[in-house]
Amino acid sequence: MDRPADLTDPLVRRRAELVKWARDPVDVLPAWVAEHDFRPPEAVFAAVHRVADEGAFGYTRRAAALGPAYASWARRRHAWEVDPELVTWHVDVLQGVVAAVTALSEPGEGLVITPPIYFPFLDIAPTTGRRQLEWRLRRDDTGWHLDPDDLDAVLSREPDARVLLLSHPHNPTGRVLDPAALARIVEICARHDVHIVSDEIHGDLVRPDVEFRPLLTVPGAAERTVVVTSAAKTFSLSGLRCAVSVFADPDLRSRVLHAHPPLLLGHPGRVGIEATIAAWEHGADWTDGLVELIGRRFDRLAERLAAEAPAVRWHRPEATFLAWLDVSACGLGPRPGATLLERARVAVSEGVDFGEGGEGHIRVNVGTAEAVFEEICDRLLPHLGVAAGGGA
């Protein structure tokens, strides 16, 4: 059975100039960018080798096969019936997100985001002339939450809001919206005539005890929802540049596709297309293994934090391979990520970069080999193990 290999060779990754490994000096361990280090399924390698052996790197019509491949994956992974004819393709998820946002709103109209949020989302409104509106997460003893009543309040006072941009599952908190919350979101957006763009790139990486529902499976969502996703996060294929948008309404698909000049959005290349198709067609067991492996990393992180850094507050994520840690009690200053880079020589994501609610937080990527993960913990935890004022 094909399972993720628990090995990471930092030298290979640095020679390849992968951003995760090559951005910082060689004495720094990376735990920042949302990309895991595990070897993709053998079927992906076979597909890439086949393209290389053929030497056929030209323009291709193979993108049309992405629809059937994703529909099959969605059916098996999420019990979701996708019409292959309503799937379109992009170079990456952010391209699909921005294309949908700009097609479904006009300059000056409102775009709702959910901070603390995946930081590129914070650039979309300013760079497209939209007005950024915020539906902020709440935190209590059970974790981070999006309260639909708060969304209703935002849309009631902002009648020019046109698009809600969701990260589902949520990055950086790892929260998965439950079916009841999704149904309310759809109802509220319908009442306020707001479209939804749902980035579901982490949807395959959900804990087995948590129910994940693609937004387009919610009754009433079809006429106002675009789901954008990719094999990139699950299978670590980001550099191959291939993503899809999924629709359930032909008119909405046509509106989004025809809102832009036909050459603007580009086209994924053949290597990315073939690797993505192979991953979706043959990667189910591998993905199950990855979810199990990530679960073991979080088990170990929970154990070590409890024993060595009880001042850290966190809620085990329901999805992703990203830990969102509240280190505000650890005396690390207003930019704890920068402090930890200097003191521990570990690169983590700075919480304030994720917007409102990120203060005092860091995001740590656990998706790496066991030995690398343990060294990251060995370096970080001594600096997180005492409360503010105690010295670290």
pLDDT digits (tens, 9 = 90+) for 177-203: 999 999 999 999 999 999 999 999 999
pLDDT tens profile 260-294: 987 888 899 999 999 999 999 999 999 999 999 99
Decide if 112 contacts 154 (C-beta within 8 A): yes
% of residues, the chain, pLDDT over 70: 98
Place of tokens 């056929």: 56
Please check whether the two domains, 10-40+284-383 and 43-281, share a CATH topology.
Answer: no
* AA letter at 232: A
Position 12 pLDDT exceeds 90: no
Q: What confidence score (pLDDT) does residue 387 get?
A: 58
Backbone φ and ψ of 113, nearest 5°: -120, 170
Q: Where are the chain's structural domains?
A: 10-40+284-383, 43-281
Mean pLDDT score of the chain: 95
Tell me the CA distances in angstroms from 192 to 12, 183, 214, one per residue in order: 51, 14, 21
| pTM reported for the whole predicted model | 0.96
Counting Cβ atoms within 10 Å, is residue 56 exposed (0-12), middle (13-18) or buried (19+)?
exposed
| pLDDT of 136 over the 50 cut | yes
11, with CB counted inside 10 A (0-12, 13-18, 19+), is exposed
pLDDT tens string 325-337: 999 999 999 999 9
**Residue 138: enclosing H or E segment and its boundaries?**
strand 138-140
Supply the pLDDT for residue 2.
80
Q: How does residue 389 score in pLDDT terms, banded at 50, 70 and 90?
A: very low
Query: Is 3.90.1150.10 the CATH classification of the domain at 10-40+284-383?
Result: yes
Range name among 9-23, 283-297, 317-331 with the lowest pLDDT average: 9-23
Choose the CATH number for 43-281 among 1.10.150.130, 3.40.50.150, 3.40.50.300, 3.40.640.10: 3.40.640.10
Q: Is the pLDDT of residue 388 over 90?
A: no
The answer on pLDDT for 341 being more than 90 is yes
Contacts of 73 (CB under 8 A, 6+ apart): 280, 281
Contact 364, 355 (CB under 8 A): no
What length does the chain have? 392
Q: Encode pLDDT of 28-86 as tens digits.
A: 999 999 999 999 999 999 999 999 999 999 999 999 999 999 999 999 999 999 999 99
Q: What is the per-residue pLDDT for 386?
A: 67
Rounded-to-integer distance, Cα 147 and Cα 136, Å: 9
% pLDDT > 90, the chain? 91
